[in-house]
């Protein structure tokens, strides 16, 4: 691998390949069999999988432990999600050193949802650092071999670090300022929140083109009308297109379970294959991050159709 490139994920981005990543969400369990099965299913279709860190402030198994087990057992490269919500800078440093020792090569630095949103709302949020400061911390570890205070690290880790971005922000200017700060701190890639509107994607990518940092657009195939309706009503700033909701609503009335499932798959492929092809054709996206937790079966057909 070329000097300065530590992971297959970054190698593909640097080579200009349209790159797909997936998502794994191990939950409140010590049994990772389901997560491993999903990782094995996605292998070959995505180059790496994000492993979530207490998403929406729900208390789940350690993303570090799960990332390591997935890489060891399946050979699927992971993108270790790390949030500032639950750890001060000392704990963040310790976990990052542990990740380096365990062979993790990619980190997505996130601030994290507030604890009041999750299943343990009485827990104290930390937020000692924010995601931009965490990116800077990781770059200092990798590039300078020191912690934030300049203290030397023996055998510093080798990571690629990325950040999150939200194309749906209105107005977009404050989000662009945050992205600019993350780029200045050393972000090497971005993965966005879910976007359904192609014009939003194009407008956002035009605005961030000058940062010259690979950006993967987040997409969210909808397993059922219930999932789509919940997503449409509860996720701030994101609306499921009416034609997609209408098609899924009609499909939910199909009595035969297998035929209903097939119709859901057909609707998603009709929508997202065209969506991703349009991104490839007209925009400067580096790829797509497919958030299909619980609906991984759609990924092979989607990726093959887009290729």
Task: Give the phi and the psi of residue 278 in degrees, each rounded to 5.
Answer: -65, -40
Span 89-103, mean pLDDT?
98
Span 177-195, mean pLDDT?
98
**Cα–Cα distance measured from residue 291 to residue 278, given in angstroms and rounded to the nearest whole number:** 19
**Cα–Cα distance measured from residue 153 to residue 295, given in angstroms and rounded to the nearest whole number:** 41
Confidence of residue 306 (pLDDT cuts 50, 70, 90): very high
- Quick one: pLDDT at residue 1? 37
Span 161-190, mean pLDDT?
97
Q: What is the pLDDT of residues 26-63, one digit of tens each?
A: 999 999 999 999 999 999 999 999 999 999 999 999 99
Confidence of residue 3 (pLDDT cuts 50, 70, 90): low
Residues sharing a CB contact under 8 Å with residue 304, sequence separation 6 or more, in sequence order: 45
Residues sharing a CB contact under 8 Å with residue 100, sequence separation 6 or more, in sequence order: 155, 156, 157, 158, 159
User: Domain boundaries in the chain?
Assistant: 8-306
Please, what is the end-to-end C-alpha distance for the chain in angstroms?
A: 25
Confidence of residue 235 (pLDDT cuts 50, 70, 90): confident
Evaluate if residue 307 carries a pLDDT over 90.
no
Span 109-118, mean pLDDT?
95
β-pair partners for 161: 107
Evaluate if residue 159 carries a pLDDT over 50.
yes
**Domain formed by 8-306, architecture:** Alpha-Beta Barrel (3.20)
Alpha helices (H) in 209-297, listed in sequence order: 225-234, 242-251, 257-282
Span 239-254, mean pLDDT?
94
Q: Could you tell me if residue 213 is left (phi over 0), alpha (psi between -120 and 50 degrees) or otherwise beta? A: beta
Residues sharing a CB contact under 8 Å with residue 50, sequence separation 6 or more, in sequence order: 21, 22, 23, 24, 78, 79, 81, 108, 191, 289
Residues sharing a CB contact under 8 Å with residue 226, sequence separation 6 or more, in sequence order: 252
**Cα–Cα distance measured from residue 88 to residue 147, given in angstroms and rounded to the nearest whole number:** 13
């Amino acid at each position: 691998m070329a000097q300065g490139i530590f992971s297959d994920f970054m190698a593909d981005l640097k080579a200009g390949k349209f790159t797909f990543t997936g998502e794994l969400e191990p939950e409140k369990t010590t049994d990772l069999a389901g997560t491993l099965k999903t990782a094995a299913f996605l292998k070959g279709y995505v180059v790496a999988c994000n492993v979530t860190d207490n998403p929406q402030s729900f208390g789940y198994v350690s993303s570090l432990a799960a990332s390591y087990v997935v890489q060891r057992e399946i050979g699927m490269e992971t993108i270790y999600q790390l949030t500032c919500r639950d750890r001060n800078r000392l704990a963040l440093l310790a976990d990052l050193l542990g990740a380096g020792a365990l062979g993790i090569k990619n980190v997505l630095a996130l601030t994290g949802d507030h604890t009041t949103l999750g299943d343990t709302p009485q827990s104290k949020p930390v937020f000692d650092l924010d995601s931009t400061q965490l990116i800077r911390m990781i770059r200092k570890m990798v590039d300078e071999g020191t912690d934030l205070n300049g203290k030397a690290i023996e055998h510093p880790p080798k990571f690629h670090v990325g950040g999150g971005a939200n194309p749906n922000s209105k107005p977009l200017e404050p989000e662009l300022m945050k992205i600019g700060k993350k780029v200045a701190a050393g972000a090497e890639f971005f993965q966005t929140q879910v976007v359904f509107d192609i014009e939003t994607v194009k407008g956002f990518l035009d605005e961030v083109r000058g940062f010259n940092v690979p950006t993967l657009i987040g997409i969210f195939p909808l397993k059922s009308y219930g999932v789509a309706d919940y997503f449409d009503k509860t996720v701030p700033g994101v609306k499921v297109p009416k034609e997609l909701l209408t098609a899924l609503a009609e499909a939910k009335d199909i009595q035969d379970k297998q035929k209903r499932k097939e119709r859901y798959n057909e609707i998603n492929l009709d929508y997202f294959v065209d969506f991703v092809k349009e991104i490839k054709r007209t925009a400067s996206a580096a790829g797509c991050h497919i958030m299909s937790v619980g609906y991984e079966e759609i990924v092979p057909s989607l990726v093959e159709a887009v290729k």
